[in-house]
Amino acid sequence: MIKKLLVTGAMCLALYSNTFAQNDIIQSRQYPQNYFRYPLDLTPPTTAGSFGELRPSHFHSGLDFKTNQRTGYPVHAAAEGYISRVRVQFGGFGRAIYITHPNGYTTVYGHLESFSPAVIDLVKKYQYEHQTYEADFNLTPTQVPVKKDEVVAISGNAGASAGPHVHFEIRDSKTEETINAQLFGLTIPDKVPPTITSIGIYHLNGKPFSEKTSKEFLGVTGSAGNYHLIKPQTLELSGNIGFGINTTDMNSTSFNHNGVYSIELKLDGKTVYTFAVERFAFDQTHAINAYIDYPAFESSRRWMQKCFILPGSRISLYPQSVNNGIITFDDNATHDVEYVVKDVAGNTSSLKLKVKSSPFVNPQPVKPTGTMFYYDKRSEFSNDKVKVIIMPGNLYDDLDFQYSVSAKPVGAYSAMHHIHNRLTPIHDSYEIWIKPDVDLGKYADKAVIVSSWGGCQGGYFKDGYVISQVSAFGDYYIKIDTVPPVIHPLNIKNGSNMKAARSINFRMSDNLSGIKSYTGTIDGKWVLMEHDYKSKILSYTFNNDIAPGKHVFKLALVDNKNNFSEFSADFSR
C-alpha cells in the first residue's frame, strides 16, 4: 500500500511500504501497483543485481532476474503495449527489446537469446538492408502489438553479461528515466536488513574534495540491523566534516550482495542527507564517481559511499540535503550522528555515533601548485606541446590541475604528457591536443593518442596537433597506426569441405586503433556475421541460401585508421 507524509523543506516525500516491509521507504511519487507482471514465470522471483547497485562507472539501471544459471526460459510482456524498439549489439544488452505501454512507461528486456518470430524477421530485414550485424531501430505502434503475458523473447546470456539472466527495466516513456521496478509492486522476497562494514570521516574544511582530502576509515561490526564501531569511542571532530559508509544488501532468495535502497545521515535526530535509488536519467549515471570516494575506489577498490554531495554532481538520487550533507562541528558540544540504511523492502540497519565537537581554527589558505580548474566553468591548460580543454559539467569539484612531461616512450611520436592523475574522475570527456615531436608527413592521418593504461584513445590531425576526446586523466602520447588488422580463421582454409560445418568461424585482432568494420561475403553476396562478446568469435551460420557445390568466402576487416585486411578461401558444401 502507499502512505503519504508531508515533509517540511524543499519537497514532499511519499513513503511506500509493501506487504513484507518493516518500515516505510523514501520516494518522490506513487507508481502503478498490480499493473506490470514479472518478466519470468520462475518462482519465487530472485535477482542477481538490484536497481541502483554500484557498478564501475555507473549505477545499475534495472533488476537482473536469475534464470537458474541457464538460458531458454520464456520472457513475457509485463503488460499490454507494443514493441517500440529492438536492439542487437556486440556488448551491452546483446539482444534487447523495448515495450511501450499505454500508461506512460516502457519496459526493457536485455541479454536475450532470441526474439519472437515477428521480431526476428524485422531484425534480419534490417541487418540485410543495412549490411550490419548490430541493429538499433524503432517500431510503430501497429507493427508488433503485444498483450500482457505474451511470450516476446527467450532468456539468454547475450552481450556483456556475467551469466544467464534477464535484465529488466521500467522507464518513464517521456523522460526515459529508469525507475526502480520494485516500486511498482514487482518485489523480491526480502527480510534481510542491509550490512554495514565501515564508515568514513572526511575533513573538508572548505577545500575541494580530492585524493589529498584528510580522511579516516573506521571498522564496523553488528548484525540484525544494529551496528556499532568495532572500537567504541566518542569521535572528536572539528570543522566541516563529511561522512561516508560502506554498506551492501541481500534479499531472502539469493546470496548475492546487492546495493541498498536508501541512506540517511542524521545529526541530533534531524536528517541532513538522503540518498535513495528511486529513479535516474542515463546521462547522470557516471556521477556514481562523484557519489563514491573515487580515489579510494581507484587505489584499493573500496566502495565507500560519501554522505555529502560534491558541487558538480547532478543526479536525482539525492532527494534532500542540508548544506550538501556537510556538517560543521565547532560548538564544544556532544552530538549524536546516525546512519539509517534501508533496502527497498524497508528492512533497516542503523549505526549511531557520539561526536565531541570543538572550535575550529581555519588554517592558512593553501595556494594552488598547478592551474585551478572550476567545475562550473570552461577550463583550459596549454603550453607549446599540449592543450587540455574541459567544459562545464565534467568536473565534480574545483581542481588544482597538475601537469608534467617525461621522455618519449619507445615507438612514440611525442613525449609522455602526464595529465593530472587517475584519482580524479571525469563525468563524460574532455579534449586533449598533443603536438608531435616530428613531422608526421604522410602518416598524419594514421596518428592516434595512446594512454599508458588504456590503449588507443583515437584522434585526428589538425593544425599541427593530434586531437582526441578522452574520458579520464592519465598519461598520454602519440603513436602511428599503419598495421592492418589480423584475421585468424578457425575452421576454414582454401579448399575446405564445409558440408558438415554449421558455421564459418574467425577471430580477429588489431594492434592499436581497433577494428572499425568487418564484411563477409559468399560468392560476392553480403552475409550476416555475428560477433560474440564473450568468445570474441566472429561467425557466419550456414542457412538454406547456400546451395551444394563450390563457393568463395571472403572476409574484409578495416581498422579505425583505415588499414585493411582480407581473407579469401574456396570451399565446398
Please report, as a single letter, which amino acid is at residue 415.
A
368 Cα distance to chain centroid: 33
Question: What pLDDT is attached to residue 13?
Answer: 31
Q: Give me the count of residues in the chain.
A: 573
Is 19 a domain residue?
no
Q: Which three cell numbers stand for residue 568?
A: 579469401
Which residues constitute the domain of residue 561? 486-572
Q: Is residue 228 part of a domain?
A: yes
Tell whether 97 and 226 lie within a shared domain: no
Res 6: pLDDT: 26
The candidate with the shortest Cα–Cα distance to 7, out of 255, 236, 274, is 274
With respect to residue 209, please indicate whether it lies within any of the assigned structural domains.
yes
Please, which pLDDT band fits residue 17 given cuts at 50, 70 and 90?
Answer: very low
Q: What values do phi and psi take at 510, rounded to 5?
A: -145, 145
Q: How many domains does the chain have?
A: 4
31 in a domain, yes or no? no
Q: Are 14 and 5 in contact (CB under 8 A)?
A: yes
Amino acid at 154: I
Domain identity same for 259 and 352: yes
Same domain, 200 and 322: yes
Per residue in 223-232, pLDDT tens? 999 999 999 9
Burial degree of 86 (CB within 10 A; 0-12, 13-18, 19+): buried
Phi, psi (rounded to 5 degrees) for 156: -150, -150
Bridge-based pairing state of the strands 525-527 and 515-522: antiparallel
Q: Under 8 Å CB-to-CB from 485, ≥6 apart: which residues?
A: 508, 509, 510, 515, 557, 558, 559, 563, 565
Residue 34 lies in a domain: no
The SS3 call for residue 324 is helix
**CA–CA gap between residue 519 and residue 403 (Å, rounded):** 43
Instruction: Kindly report, residue by residue over 61-113, the tens digit of the pLDDT.
Output: 999 999 999 999 999 999 999 999 999 999 999 999 999 999 999 999 999 99
- Cell (9 digits) for 383: 603550453
DSSP one-letter string for 398-449: -EEE-EEEEPPPTT-SSPEEEES-TTS--SS-EEEEE--SS--GGGGGGEEE
Residues 393 and 322 in one domain: no
Asked if 345 and 404 sit in the same domain, the reply is: no
Q: Do 385 and 443 reside in the same domain of the chain?
A: yes
CATH assignment at residue 517: 2.60.40.1220
Is 14 within a domain? Answer: no
Question: Would you state the pLDDT for residue 298?
Answer: 96
Q: Are residues 263 and 347 in the same domain?
A: yes
pLDDT 10s digits, 349-383:
999 999 999 998 877 778 899 999 999 999 999 99
Q: Rounded to whole angstroms, how far apart are CA atoms 154 and 403?
A: 52
Average pLDDT over residues 421-448: 97
Residue 127, helix vs strand vs coil: helix
E strand or H helix at 284: none
Residue type, 244: G
| 390 contacts 372 by C-beta, under 8 angstroms | no
Q: What is the pLDDT of residues 156-187, one digit of tens each?
A: 999 999 999 999 999 999 999 999 999 999 99
End of a domain among 136, 154, 184?
Answer: 184
Which of 436, 455, 480 is the C-terminal boundary of a domain? Answer: 480
Residue 15 lies in a domain: no
Those residues whose C-beta lies under 8 Å from the C-beta of residue 229, and which sit 6 or more positions away, are: 199, 218, 219, 220, 221, 351, 353
pTM of the model: 0.92
pLDDT (tens digit, 9 = 90+) per residue, 248-296? 999 999 999 999 999 999 999 999 999 999 999 999 999 999 999 999 9
Q: What is the DSSP letter of 292?
A: B
| CATH code where residue 462 lies | 2.60.220.30
Mark whether 146 and 250 lie in a shared domain. Answer: no
C-beta separation of 223 from 189 below 8 A: no
Domain boundary among 156, 184, 212: 184
DSSP state of 156: B
Count CA within 13 A, CB hemisphere, residue 318.
24
How far apart are the C-alpha atoms of 435 and 21, rounded to whole Å? 61
In a domain, 563, yes or no: yes
251 — phi, psi (to 5°)? -110, 180
Is 117 in the same domain as 150?
yes
pLDDT range class, residue 450, cuts 50, 70, 90: very high
The CATH number assigned to the domain holding 74 equals 2.70.70.10
| 326 and 439 part of one domain | no
Q: Residue 541 above 80 pLDDT? A: yes
Residues 348 and 200 in one domain: yes
Which pLDDT value is given to residue 179?
Answer: 98
Residue 519 to residues 285, 408, 489, 530, Cα–Cα distance (Å): 34, 37, 14, 11
- CA–CA separation, 573 vs 568, rounded Å? 16
425 and 549 inside one domain = no
Enclosing H/E stretch for 300: helix 294-300
